[in-house]
């Protein structure tokens, strides 16, 4: 099977998801202030995406495997969110967040899309390996979800270390 066959066989919604992930990642390339609800969209989207994966795997291979794969992935992602450096957002008055510009979100979003797409293709091409491919894709999705939520948990109030008045972020902000 050729790559073009795999791409042509993917459901249309997959390409809509790819476009949405690119748009979300590109928006994070520059420092910006947004309402908290807007800043939470990627974290919520990845949580829903990973929970849909749990439901699908549970229907196919049982809830123990599905929940176990999700918990293992989330533990790895949560640890990564704590141990690896990540640009921190700042909570602002009025229910807003200032997020520093970074390539990390775009790379993270596209990376998880690529892995989950590859796992889906693997499951379609080799049905005997479908459970393994789905477990791997689910664990990766859960890891990214946990990492994103760890980033949210690390948003600090304005004026906290590394970001009060006169910080490198305060002069570079473009609302948006």
Q: What single DSSP character describes residue 127?
A: G
pLDDT of residue 29: 94
Q: What single DSSP character describes residue 90?
A: E
Q: In this structure, are residues 147 and 108 in contact, taking their beta carbons and an 8 Å threshold?
A: yes
How confident is the model over 84-100, as pLDDT tens digits?
766 678 889 998 999 88
Q: What single DSSP character describes residue 89?
A: P
Cα-based distances in Å from 120 to 44, 53, 74, 128, 172: 22, 11, 20, 13, 41
Predicted model pTM: 0.77
How confident is the model over 65-77, as pLDDT tens digits?
999 999 999 999 9
- DSSP bridge partners of 157: 91
Rg (CA), the chain: 18
Q: What single DSSP character describes residue 173?
A: -
Whole-angstrom distance, CA of residue 87 vs CA of residue 107 = 14
- Whether 153 has a pLDDT exceeding 50, the answer reads yes
pLDDT of residue 170: 42
**Domains of the chain, residue spans:** 3-157
């Amino acid at each position: 099977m050729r790559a073009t066959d795999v791409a042509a066989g993917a459901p249309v919604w997959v390409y809509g998801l790819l476009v949405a992930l690119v748009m979300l990642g590109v928006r994070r390339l520059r420092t910006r202030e947004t309402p908290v609800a807007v800043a939470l969209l990627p974290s919520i989207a990845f949580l829903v995406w990973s929970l849909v994966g749990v439901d699908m795997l549970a229907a196919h291979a049982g809830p123990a495997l599905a929940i176990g794969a999700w918990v293992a992935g989330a533990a790895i992602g949560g640890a990564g969110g704590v141990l690896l450096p990540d640009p921190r957002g700042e909570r602002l008055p009025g229910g807003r967040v200032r997020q520093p510009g970074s390539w990390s979100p775009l790379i993270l979003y596209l990376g998880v899309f690529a892995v989950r797409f590859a796992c889906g293709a693997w499951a379609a091409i080799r049905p005997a390996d479908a459970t393994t491919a789905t477990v791997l894709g689910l664990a990766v999705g859960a890891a990214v979800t946990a990492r994103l939520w760890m980033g949210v948990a690390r948003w600090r109030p304005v004026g906290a270390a590394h970001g009060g008045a006169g910080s490198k972020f305060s002069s570079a902000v473009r609302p948006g």
